Structure 1
Amino acid sequence: MKSSESTVVFYNNLKAHSKKPTVAGGVEIKYKRKRGVLVILGFEDLFISEFKDSCNLILNHSFRGLPYKNLLICRDVRNVMASRLNHPHMAPSLIKHKSQLEFTKKLWLDHHTVKDDNEIHVIRYGFLLKDLSGIIFEDYYLTDIRENEDISNRYGGGSSFETNNFSERYKAFEGNDCYEDLIQDMQMLDIKNHSTHWNN
């Protein structure tokens, strides 16, 4: 996303039920204020009910009366599970604890039972431009939406693979027992939502 009229401030990985956005544990960047400010609040690993409650709480407490959009970013099951197994902190827990593996599967399933409506816009990782193009962003200073295929940071775990091909990162984990457990029984729903080709 690109904006010529606003400064974009991104608070990533906020805790559930936060009342105020915070950069605790992150990096605060000084910026020159432009005509407006676009604030992006990011939550991770929340079930939809938690996500709705968390959005309502932080909006009512810190951004009351301001326009907003709720976006749910979803990714195909093979690549999202591969990213978790590539993460140095998530992988050991997934491998050792069956409960964590089941939680991760339930989370993916929960996100893929949401219908795109005016309350939550579902954005599929492999169809960013297509799904975003149907949303009106005029109130948010966004003048152009482009897809950036470059990797800006390879050293954070998770999505830090030695390839720029976002759709084939799962191939590094094919045959891995934990990976196969994570994607088991997900094929039909994955094909329906992400148009994936499981025979490739």
Structure 2
Amino acid sequence: MGELTFSLQLSLWVAGTATLIAGLVGTAAAYVLAKYRFWGEELVEALLTLPLVLPPTVVGFYLLGLLGRRGWLGQYLYAWTGLDLLFTPQAAVIAAAVMALPLMVRTARAAIEGVDPLYEQAAFTLGKSRLETFLQVTLPLAWRGLLAGLVLSFARALGEFGATLMVAGNIPRRTQTMPLAIYEATQAGEDRRALVLVAVLSLVSLVVLLLTNRLGPKKRW
């Protein structure tokens, strides 16, 4: 039971931290895409959405090239701090955040675009800055959509497997999240252990779907 508890706690921590990162970055990106028009906008949107359509192992391969000791970013990080992110819980967070980001961006953008611009324009005429308008007008009006994006991001991060396996590995009591533990248990023929983990993930996913449906538009009869 010790390894099961560890995998559950690690998965919740990874998913929670990844959701926070995806929420902050995704909301900022969604606001820019919703409110500004600039050269290369379609390319930026496509790049942000790409992890949604690429196989997770491909995303993991890109992350290896980015975060490894000889990677585009990893080599400088290792030279300056001696920190190697690969095969650590932090690598699992990065992988989960990258995979969850497209869902957050798309959901947040739809929510922000759904806010009536007249309210924002009224705030501008009262001398509010863009940041004040976003915090005091846009955010309160779009909160249901933003929260739905966070819930979906959490679910995606919680179930992340392929990219996490590539950059964090499957190290018991270190980087083994629940999806990885399910894979290992299944490979080892430990059906009872796999069943428990599957039941937990299924229950969490069901709760997430129910929450997302409640945050959606109200049905009118």
- TM above 0.5, one fold? no
Judging by fraction of residues, say which structure has more strand.
1
- Work out which of the two has the higher radius of gyration on C-alpha atoms and give 1 or 2: 2
Judging by fraction of residues, say which structure has more helix.
2
TM range (shorter): under 0.3
Task: Provide TM-score, normalisation by structure 1.
Answer: 0.28
Task: Provide TM-score, normalisation by structure 2.
Answer: 0.26
